[in-house]
Amino acid sequence: MRVLVTGGAGYLGSILSRKLLEKGYKVRVMDALWYGNESIKGIVQNENFELIKEDIRNLVPTVRSLTDVDAVIHLASIVGMPASSIEPRTSEEINYLATKNLAELCQLHDIQTYIFASTCSVYGYQPKKMIDEKSRVSPLDFYAQQKYLSERATGWLNRAPTIYRFGTLFGLSPRMRFDLVINLFIAQATIEGKITVFGGEQERPFLHVSDAADALIFGIEKDLTGTYNVISQNMTIMQAAKLISKFTGCEIEVSKENEDNRSYKVSAEKIKQVGFSPSKTIEDAIKEIKDALIDKKIEDYNNVRYNNYKLLYSSKEMQNEVFIKGISGSLEVP
């Protein structure tokens, strides 16, 4: 079975690609490699792995990427509110229009399995109650709005797609990120001995990135359709900080600046009912990330390479690649 993974060199995609290969799938990755190719260097020689280095906005290579494909897992996007706000037009092209195009192409090519990675942030601000897939959505930022519009755009397919609303991811990855709150807290605790919490009472659902990859493979193997929340545990930001402090002995500093006003806790009962349960915890991430930092496998967690927003914003070369080069390709037609 050949699976196309868009964004397959990313934080989640680089783990998913490895897990698919280990299970014997043929994996075709379509990724513009804006963040480099280090995350897939260990698998490019695998005879079942294929890389298409292209921008998802370019329709001709996107159409070609669907040749002999049995399933599509769509991860490619400009991830997160800060990064997606740098150039809204480009974010709309990638996060919404390219997603809509890909879903339509899957239907045109009679590809029965299409899984779209969305986000629990579509729920916005709904504190003090448990949210399920039937609850109202209230996306507060541009990124969440584009994800929800993409959900709606793919929902009309003749065969219903699979939509996963992932909780906030954490954990070690070949394409590591420290712009995710748990990962950042663990790095701060390990290197600085102190965590800085902005606000702290915001409720969040969390999910280890390895479990997210497992959920995607589960969706293929169980032939799931519909919308599912995928999380492992709900915690406030402060509870997460205290848990990390318990295992590392770090101090906690509270700041009222730059508070994130999203707050929601989410039920994953629907996907549990069909047989999927996450296996990893924040404690697992503490050990793996702490070990990687202490062993110098990660030299400097503050390096811009580990932060989507900082990398896109700081590099003129990257901005040309993302915000200019891809636009001409978006006008091509097959």
Identify the pLDDT of residue 82: 78
H or E segment to which residue 63 belongs: helix 59-65
| pLDDT lower than 50: segments of the chain | 327-334
Identify the pLDDT of residue 91: 87
Amino acid at 193: G
Could you tell me which of 43, 54, 4 has the C-alpha nearest to residue 26?
4
CATH C-level class of 2-173+206-231+264-279+310-329: alpha beta
pLDDT tens across 305-315, in order? 999 888 887 76
Could you tell me which of 37, 40, 25 has the C-alpha nearest to residue 72?
25
Amino acid at 328: S
For every residue of 276-326, DSSP letters joined together read ------HHHHHHHHHHHHHTTSSS-TTSGGG-HHHHHHH-HHHHIIIIIIH
pTM: 0.93
Distance from C-alpha of 83 to C-alpha of 108, rounded to nearest angstrom = 32
Q: Are strands 125-131 and 162-166 parallel, antiparallel or unpaired?
A: unpaired
Identify the pLDDT of residue 319: 66
CB atoms within 10 A of CB 57: 23
pLDDT tens across 234-246, in order? 999 999 999 999 9
